[in-house]
Amino acid sequence: MLSGARRCNALLGLAFVIAMIAVAPPAMSRTVAAPATERILDDSGGRIGSYLTRYEALRKSGQHVAIDGTCASACTLLLGVIPLNRICVTPRAVLAFHAAWDLSLRGAQTNEPGTKYLWSHYPTDVRRWIARHGGLRSQTIYLCDTVDMGRLAGPKPLQLAQF
């Protein structure tokens, strides 16, 4: 049995060791966290430049993207910015394509340079699908079939995800 002073010193030493373990930097761990998944639930699109900025950051981060609802208009640019092997779809996924437009005093007007820009950023198989369905125009065309979505990715099909 330890005397009072020795017992106090032993407890202080033990407390010091526990405190050092508790504040040890996490760099001692050898595990690496997997990149998070960005989930698109219902995105109606918006300004092309905003989406390009967002998707470039996602591409550089290594994150995966899951389309789990509607991805329309500028949202679909992810198909040309994010590597297709990092995109997955759920049975609820819908891709909606149309020409770029601007709001003017006469209402919505097709923006030809914006439409060409959208077109140029889509992968070849996506452009073929859009062309087969009438091209980018004022009317929206919808891709709702996950099997067809998988075919758009070429040799590496989009994965089917479940949430």
Q: State both tokens at 122.
A: 């889509």
Task: Choose among 134, 144, 126: nearest CA to 67.
Answer: 144
For the chain, give the longest Cα–Cα distance: 93
Tens digit of pLDDT for each residue in 14-39?
A: 333 333 333 444 444 444 455 678 89
pLDDT at 31: 44
Tens digit of pLDDT for each residue in 52-63?
A: 999 999 999 999
pLDDT at 6: 44
- % the chain with pLDDT above 70: 71
Domain boundaries, the chain: 37-160
pLDDT for residue 11 is more than 70 = no
Tens digit of pLDDT for each residue in 136-154?
A: 999 999 998 877 877 765 5
What is the pLDDT confidence band of residue 103, given thresholds at 50, 70 and 90? confident
